[in-house]
């Protein structure tokens, strides 16, 4: 499905009925990464999986933007769908957008699911790497980014034992646009430190992280857990940064248990 928000056509899928659950994808993937979750979660929830602008089937925009822009797109999409309260889940960049959303619209968020993400802003070196990645995407295209990033995104177990998933992730990244990848990389470099926000988060929060995640190692999730009062931390075994795809069984179980208590 597509809807025009903030002058951009945004693609999204909707499944099931019940309490709304919005799932925000990682960089440089798109809403297809939630495939292992939707059939399971849609038995009890009204699951909404949007593509951020520039990703998947959403429209590309040339102008640079911020994490807040992506949060505003999600807000406008939910407004069009008539959804005022919901559970917000985000993995990695999806988590950065979830922080930006919570900063502006905390009253809409009934619960948060923060997977393989971090509160910290980029270091100076990290910012340089974002610019280098954006330049590489423009010069060499999404396939080169897929080859470069997939070994970092996936855990050692997946890389050694799940060649089909490795291929699938590469294809997913390669299907995205150069503009989408380059702009999001720069937008992440500009994002704010969300540490000051953590003590202000009052809703029930589930923090998930793959035990083999090297991009956002477990210690960063422990920091989230320490500073978000009403939070619990679940480590997803034998999974890297894309914990929802690498160990969907453990990931889904943790989410369902968390949501059952609500
Ligand atoms: C992601 O998975 O969204 C990215 O790895 C986030 C990042 O590079 O900081």
Whether this model's pTM surpasses 0.95: yes
Cα angle 221, 196, 203 (rounded to 5 degrees) comes to: 65
Whole-angstrom distance, CA of residue 88 vs CA of residue 49: 11
- Smallest CA-to-CA distance from 236 within 225, 247, 221, 245 is with 247
Distance 92 CA to ligand 1 centre (A): 5
Q: Which atom of ligand 1 is nearest to the CA of 116?
A: 2
Model pLDDT, residue 262: 79
**Closest C-alpha to ligand 1, atom 4:** 27
Task: Quickly tell me which residue has 């291929």 as its tokens.
Answer: 167
In degrees and rounded to multiples of 5, residue 251 shows phi and psi of: -60, -50
Q: Which atom of ligand 1 is nearest to the CA of 25?
A: 3
Whether 187 and 97 have beta carbons less than 8 Å apart is answered as no
Distance 27 CA to ligand 1 centre (A): 5
Percent of the chain as helix, strand, coil, to the nearest 5 = 50, 20, 30
Whole-angstrom distance, CA of residue 258 vs CA of residue 253: 9
**Closest C-alpha to ligand 1, atom 1:** 27
Alpha helices in the chain (DSSP H): 35-41, 67-81, 93-104, 124-140, 142-153, 156-161, 163-174, 178-189, 218-227, 243-246, 248-260
Model pLDDT, residue 110: 98
Whole-angstrom distance, CA of residue 49 vs CA of residue 21: 9
In degrees and rounded to multiples of 5, residue 210 shows phi and psi of: -70, 140
Q: Which residues of the chain have pLDDT under 50?
A: none
Q: In sequence order, what are the beta bridge partners of 15?
A: 47
Whether the ω angle into residue 53 lies within 30 degrees of 0, i.e. cis, is no
Whether 95 and 117 have beta carbons less than 8 Å apart is answered as yes
Q: What pairing do the DSSP bridges indicate for beta strands 2-5 and 19-24? A: unpaired
Whole-angstrom distance, CA of residue 104 vs CA of residue 107: 9
Residues in contact with ligand 1 by the CB-under-6-Å rule are: 26-27, 92-93, 188, 215, 241
Q: What's the token pair of residue 159?
A: 């890389």
Q: In what order do the strands lie in the sheet with 2-5?
A: 2-5, 8-15, 45-50, 19-24, 86-91, 109-115, 205-210, 231-236
Model pLDDT, residue 230: 97
Radius of gyration from C-alpha coordinates of the chain: 17
Residue to mutate, 23, 24, 27, 118, ligand 1, most ligand atoms under 8 Å from C-beta: 27
Distance 103 CA to ligand 1 centre (A): 20
Model pLDDT, residue 59: 97
Q: What's the token pair of residue 142?
A: 């999404």
């Amino acid at each position: 499905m597509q809807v025009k928000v903030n002058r951009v056509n945004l693609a999204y899928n909707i499944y099931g009925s019940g309490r709304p659950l919005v799932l925000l994808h990682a960089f440089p993937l798109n809403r297809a990464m939630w495939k292992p979750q939707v059939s399971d979660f849609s038995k009890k929830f009204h699951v909404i999986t949007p593509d951020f602008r520039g990703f998947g089937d959403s429209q590309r925009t040339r102008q640079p933007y911020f994490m807040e822009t992506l949060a505003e797109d999600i807000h406008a999409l939910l407004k069009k769908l008539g959804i005022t309260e919901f559970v917000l889940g985000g993995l990695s960049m999806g988590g950065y957008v979830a922080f930006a959303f919570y900063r502006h619209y905390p009253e809409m968020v009934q619960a948060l699911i923060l997977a393989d993400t971090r509160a910290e802003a980029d270091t100076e070196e990290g910012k340089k790497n974002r610019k280098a990645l954006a330049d590489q995407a423009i010069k060499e295209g999404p396939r080169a980014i897929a080859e470069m990033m997939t070994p970092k995104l996936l855990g050692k177990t997946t890389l050694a034992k799940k060649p089909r998933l490795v291929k699938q992730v590469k294809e997913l990244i390669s299907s995205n646009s150069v503009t989408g990848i380059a702009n999001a990389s720069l937008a992440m470099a500009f994002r704010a430190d969300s540490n000051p926000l953590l003590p202000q988060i009052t809703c029930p929060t589930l923090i998930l992280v793959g035990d083999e995640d090297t991009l956002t190692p477990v210690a960063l999730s422990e920091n989230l857990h320490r500073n978000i009062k009403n939070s619990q931390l679940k480590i997803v075994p034998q999974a890297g940064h894309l914990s929802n795809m690498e160990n969907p069984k453990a990931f889904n179980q943790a989410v369902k248990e968390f949501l059952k208590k609500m």
